[in-house]
Structure 1
Amino acid sequence: MCILLLSTAHPKYPLILLSNRDEYLNRPTKSADFWPAPDSDVLSPLDLAREEHGTWIGITKEGRIAILVNFRETQNSDAVSPISRGALVKHFLVARDKTTSEWVESAIANAGPGGLFSVGGFSMVCGVLRPKSSQDSQSTEIIYQERLERLAVLTNRSTSLSSGTSWIFAPEEFVNPTIQEKENCSDTYSFVREHTYGISNSLYTEPWPKVYRGCDLLSSMIAEDIASGGMKIQSQDALIQSLFDILSVDELPREALQTGDPVAVFDALRHSIKVPVFSAVDGVLKEDYDSLSPVPTEESIQNAADGNVIVQHVKSQFETNTSDKPYEFKKGMYYGTRTQTLILVDNYGNVTYVERDLNDVTKKEPVLHEFKIDGWSE
């Protein structure tokens, strides 16, 4: 039940990106860091549960960026696939010789047996970060144009893969599907909202309530800062805190959880940006775990394992291993928002990457990485 929010509307930041990763707490994961050579320009966390060691979010020093969210399947058997979704993100990040369009076309054509339809349901935002025009980094005036080159939104849960590719930051080609009509909105808010996007575990063109809510909160924050002449948020640290506050909004309708009905439970999760930690028993999330209490011990999580999921091995261009060992992961008892990630890109191409782990008590401070995008102003 992850969420991705992004905006190009802040005058000082051509890109503000927010991401929540919702996952089982016992799924082995490596915190965000630069990869070893020969791919030391790539920054991402890693999923260690699958042999591909894929990822759901990453950025390179050359400005290649990719973020993937799962599609909420109607059948549990569709949730696990022979090809790792995280391998797609890794593959894009290191495909330095391909434009975004070329990579998307290649991904659709060369994914292996069954194509991308053999991958679990996903939506992936990817592209190369480049400004459309330079801007004064000290200006707080509204910039009435898209500020970044377009990014692709690729999904394998549309009626066909050819129609499964959309583009954002390209209003002449695609209308922002998250906008809802509102009364008595300021011109500043309306502009910001038009340039603020979101996606969760549904089709990009069919946003969940949490996406509308997240886009509205992000747009309001940016619009208020613009209206105040930059006095509302006077430092990047203050901006980062405000963005984490948005990612931490918990509006889960608790009454749905008391029904024990899986449909009602998962429908409830569509409404909350942050998913508090719950125990997942027999496919139903139940609020019998207090997210404010100490995190479960490693032993208790291991003891709560509920079985294996095994799928047949299929080779594709996205594989990073040659083993015939099938994918195998023991789901734990506890599920919820595990990590929150922010990516800020300023007018000079400076990247600030911040990752916060909500459920690992050994990680006292967020992971922070900063660098400048190579070729930003070329």
Structure 2
Amino acid sequence: MHSDTSVLASNRDEFLERPTARADWWDIPHTHILGPRDLKAGVNGTWIGISKRGHMAFLTNNHEMGSPVTNKRTRGLLVHDFLVDDQVSPADYLTRLLPEGQLYNGFNLVVGDLCRTAFYAGSNHTRNDDNEKDDTSTLSLEPLPLDQVLGLSNADLGTPQDWPRVQRGVMVMTEILGQQLAREALIEELFTMLRDSSPFTPTNLPQTVEEARKPICLPPIQLHQQWYGTGVSTVILVDHDNHVYYSERELVTQDGAPVSEPGRTFEFMIDPEPATN
């Protein structure tokens, strides 16, 4: 939170050749939903989005659950299905998924209702009483506190010690929010944080999985003969009047070259009960 404003700052790490549509308003009948689309699976799923009805969701892959299995459902539908269902609450949506956690590769899913100020996190990775990895794949869920800065990457929520990027991100974002900046300055500071590739440079890139966990912004690296890294950054602000500022900036091209074009920005109001004709 920033005063009376909810703030989300997010990077997407992915194979850069993966077909993706930039953030925009979705097609009929879901023209009230804003977000990018993942085109690879042919179902127009997504990893992040927000609707004029107040629904908001994002997900990350959970790398702690091992290598992906090819016959699983696409995780992009988890965000999509919540955004298109205007009536379901975050807790009810995750509860509905409880029997289906094993049908997906590892994920962390955050769903929220901005009108009710209710956010919940769900994961299909559970731990046993000794905080060790558990082989089960049932879905867990928990309400999220909105009065503090939380960080999430490709491991369980609440385990930042394994991911230096999460530790640094939470620290830097806390400092930024503490400055009580005006909106435009706040957005620029958040994008600056999301572009932070330290301790690496274009000539000094991560060489191991552990090193790849360090930078907030992962520079393009060759992985399985493909370019992999942080391809796009997203900042979303929602103020106390339900005014939404959604900004997306593409960082690199499919071959890892820097992108110089300006990003995309959308402004709109949340209206949980739109007028009907």
Structure 1 and Structure 2 fold alike (TM over 0.5) = yes
The answer to whether residue 106 in structure 2 is matched with residue 121 in structure 1 is: yes
The answer to whether residue 242 in structure 2 is matched with residue 349 in structure 1 is: yes
Residue in 2 that maps onto 1:243 = 190
Residue in 1 that maps onto 2:120 = 152
The answer to whether residue 151 in structure 2 is matched with residue 198 in structure 1 is: yes
How far the C-alpha of 1:375 sits from its partner, in A, is 3.7
How far the C-alpha of 1:82 sits from its partner, in A, is 1.9
The answer to whether residue 25 in structure 2 is matched with residue 34 in structure 1 is: yes
8 Å contact from structure 2 (residues 250, 259) kept in 1: no
CA RMSD of aligned residues (A): 2.3
Q: Percent identity?
A: 31
8 Å contact from structure 1 (residues 198, 214) kept in 2: yes
Q: Distance in 1 between matches of 2:172 and 2:98?
A: 35
The answer to whether residue 223 in structure 2 is matched with residue 223 in structure 1 is: no
Q: Distance in 2 between matches of 1:19 and 1:41?
A: 21
Distance 1:17 1:364, change over 3 A: same
Residue in 1 that maps onto 2:265 = 368
How far the C-alpha of 1:81 sits from its partner, in A, is 4.6
8 Å contact from structure 1 (residues 63, 128) kept in 2: yes
8 Å contact from structure 1 (residues 249, 274) kept in 2: yes
The 3-state SS of whatever aligns with 1:195 is coil
The 3-state SS of whatever aligns with 1:199 is coil
The 3-state SS of whatever aligns with 1:337 is strand
Residue 272 of structure 1: which of 205, 215, 221 is its match?
215
Q: Distance in 2 between matches of 1:162 and 1:280?
A: 30
Q: Distance in 2 between matches of 1:243 and 1:150?
A: 23
8 Å contact from structure 2 (residues 65, 125) kept in 1: no
8 Å contact from structure 1 (residues 30, 48) kept in 2: yes
8 Å contact from structure 2 (residues 125, 138) kept in 1: no
**Cα offsets for 1:158-207 (capped at 9, x unmatched):** 1467771111126xxxxxxxxxxxxxxxxxxxxxxx61111100011212
The answer to whether residue 13 in structure 2 is matched with residue 19 in structure 1 is: no
Structure 1 alignment gaps of length 5 or more: 1-7, 110-114, 132-148, 171-193, 226-232, 259-264, 282-303, 305-332
Q: Distance in 2 between matches of 1:369 and 1:344?
A: 11
The 3-state SS of whatever aligns with 1:275 is coil
Q: Distance in 1 between matches of 2:239 and 2:33?
A: 19
8 Å contact from structure 1 (residues 58, 89) kept in 2: yes
Q: Distance in 2 between matches of 1:252 and 1:98?
A: 43
8 Å contact from structure 2 (residues 98, 140) kept in 1: no
How far the C-alpha of 1:362 sits from its partner, in A, is 7.5
Residue in 2 that maps onto 1:43 = 34
The 3-state SS of whatever aligns with 2:151 is strand
Q: Distance in 1 between matches of 2:65 and 2:113?
A: 33
Distance 1:81 1:44, change over 3 A: farther
Q: Distance in 1 between matches of 2:170 and 2:61?
A: 19
Letter in 2 for 1:209: P
**What's the TM-score, normalizing by structure 1?**
0.64
Residue in 1 that maps onto 2:140 = 164
Q: Distance in 2 between matches of 1:156 and 1:344?
A: 28
Residue 94 of structure 1: which of 76, 84, 88 is its match?
84
Distance 1:363 1:224, change over 3 A: closer
Distance 1:79 1:249, change over 3 A: farther
Of the structure 1 ranges 79-88 and 42-51, higher mean CA displacement relative to structure 2 is found in 79-88
Letter in 2 for 1:273: I
Letter in 1 for 2:56: I
**Cα offsets for 1:187-240 (capped at 9, x unmatched):** xxxxxxx61111100011212221111011011112133xxxxxxx3x322111
How far the C-alpha of 1:19 sits from its partner, in A, is 0.4
Q: Distance in 1 between matches of 2:259 and 2:188?
A: 21
Letter in 1 for 2:143: W
Q: Distance in 1 between matches of 2:259 and 2:150?
A: 33
**What's the TM-score, normalizing by structure 2?**
0.86
Distance 1:355 1:41, change over 3 A: same
Distance 1:362 1:203, change over 3 A: closer
How far the C-alpha of 1:97 sits from its partner, in A, is 2.1
Q: Which has the larger radius of gyration?
A: 1
How far the C-alpha of 1:75 sits from its partner, in A, is 3.5
Structure 2 alignment gaps of length 5 or more: 128-135
1:274-353 aligned at under 5 Å gives the runs 274-281=217-224, 333-353=226-246
8 Å contact from structure 1 (residues 73, 79) kept in 2: no
8 Å contact from structure 1 (residues 81, 120) kept in 2: no
